[in-house]
Amino acid sequence: MRVAIATESFLPSLNGVTTSVCRVAECLREQGHEATIIAPGPGPRSYAGHTVRPLPGFPVRGFRAGLPTRAMNRALREFRPDVVHLASPFLVGAHGQHHAQRLDMPTVAIYQTDMPSYVRQHGPGALGRRAEDLTWRWVRRIHSRVDLTLAPSQPTLDELRSHDVPRTALWGRGVDTALFHPRWKDDPATIALRGTLAPRGEVLLGYVGRLAPEKELHRLVELAQVPGTRLVLVGEGPSRRELGARLAEAVATSGHRPNLPPAFLGPRTGHDLARAYASFDIFVHTGTKETFGQTLQEAAAAGLPVVAPAKGGPLDLVRHGQTGFLFDPEVRGDLARWVEEIVDDPARRARMGEAGAEMVAPRSWSALTERLVEHYRAVALSRAA
């Protein structure tokens, strides 16, 4: 098939949308399909053998947002795809949907970012609620005009349907089980990293992701005082300085012998990211607005028990008591409570890690892309009928 991918985010920006687009593009090439990627620039002019068509962009809170221009129409006309894939559509995706509709091209939208909740979080009181309502109206408008919307988890699918988004289905996310694997624990560089991070044998509580308000990282404060542990964060974002100061203060003011201050490793990719996961003992996640939670899958593939909120995407990714724990985000201290359950029990952590790795083993990007292509074909056939 010929697939045009219009995405809100792409390299060099690193986030869940970029990762999904990159993995799908790679697998489409491996499976004999041809794609073009239409994304905010500047960035690479090709990826995985596919042409990248840049759009003018502008910075928004560390991201490059794309501007609607004639370049979208030109890219679609020249490539003439069998289907248009809209990755987390909002601005670029809305523009892509508009031109695909005018050109009578089938469209599949991937719902990935809970933009209404993010918007509400940054607006006070009634203003935030009004902004959330307006954002849902925009989201519903976009997705009501596509042939199919794919949600990454059952809670997200239920939420879309509750907001009257039509023609929806479930499509998860793949995980690179060749890269994220327990064997990295024996890698010399991983052992050296762990020795640096845990010089007294501390239990390392790791987080991977964007350091931003929407990730609700303030919840980590309650972990700063769990005895014998150290927080390790991988990623970057606008909350880096404030979060560092807040966590360091929480550690320093602990009533018992203080832990080491939190460690910030910055953004990591590839083997360096795999080693970071492998150096952790427990993976923790704090955000309640995740439509999926890709890092939770990566942590499970690396053999880690996962502790995450009992809300949104994590409900599909964590088997409570088997691969980790789901904490109640409405109860202060519940995150620390479940982490403490396994801090002093390495055997239980190991069992949970093994169960998590077994759970995600069938979720390769190749298999998920094959299912995605089935959705493409169904939409194209339906349009042609």
Q: Which CATH number fits domain 182-360: 3.20.20.80, 3.40.50.920, 3.40.190.10, 3.40.50.2000?
A: 3.40.50.2000
pLDDT score for 256: 66
Spatial distance between the Cα atoms of 304 and 298, rounded to a whole number of angstroms: 9
User: Domain limits of the chain?
Assistant: 2-174+364-380, 182-360
Domain 2-174+364-380 annotated CATH 3.40.50.150:
no
Nearest in space to 232 (alpha carbons), one of 259, 273, 204: 204
Spatial distance between the Cα atoms of 364 and 297, rounded to a whole number of angstroms: 11
pLDDT score for 125: 79
CA angle at 147 for the pair 143 and 152, rounded to the nearest 5°:
60
Spatial distance between the Cα atoms of 348 and 305, rounded to a whole number of angstroms: 9
Quick check: do 2-174+364-380 and 182-360 share a fold? yes
pLDDT score for 276: 98
Nearest in space to 173 (alpha carbons), one of 306, 46, 323, 21: 21
Spatial distance between the Cα atoms of 153 and 162, rounded to a whole number of angstroms: 14
| Tokens 């690193």 -> residue | 14
pLDDT score for 58: 78
Structure tokens at 352: 């949970």
pLDDT score for 186: 97
Query: Are the C-beta atoms of 202 and 259 separated by less than 8 Å?
Result: yes
pLDDT score for 128: 83
pLDDT score for 119: 82
pLDDT score for 360: 96
Query: Are the C-beta atoms of 97 and 17 separated by less than 8 Å?
Result: no
pLDDT score for 179: 96
Q: Taking the mean position of all CA atoms in its chain, how far away is CA 10?
A: 13
3-state per-residue secondary structure call for the chain:
CEEEEEECCCCCCCCHHHHHHHHHHHHHHHCCCEEEEEEECCCCCEECCEEEEEECEEEECCEEEECCCHHHHHHHHHHCCCEEEEECCCCHHHHHHHHHHHCCCCEEEECCCCHHHHHHHCCCHHHHHHHHHHHHHHHHHHHHCCCEEEECCHHHHHHHHHCCCCCEEECCCCCCCCCCCHHHHHCHHHHHHHHHHCCCCCEEEEEECCCCHHHCHHHHHHHCCCCCEEEEEECCCCCHHHHHHHHHHHHHCCCCCCCCCCEEEECCCHHHHHHHHHHCCEEECCCCCCCCCHHHHHHHHCCCCEEEECCCCHHHHCCECCCEEEECCCCCCHHHHHHHHHHCCHHHHHHHHHHHHHHHCCCCHHHHHHHHHHHHHHHHHHHHC
| Tokens 């396994």 -> residue | 342
Which regions in the chain score pLDDT beneath 70? 61-63, 122, 256-257
pLDDT score for 80: 97
Parallel, antiparallel or unpaired: strands 57-60 and 50-55: unpaired
pLDDT score for 385: 73
Residue 85 backbone phi and psi in degrees, to 5: -95, 120
Spatial distance between the Cα atoms of 231 and 248, rounded to a whole number of angstroms: 10
pLDDT score for 62: 62
Give the global pTM.
0.89
- Side chain identity at residue 230, one-letter code: R
pLDDT score for 317: 97
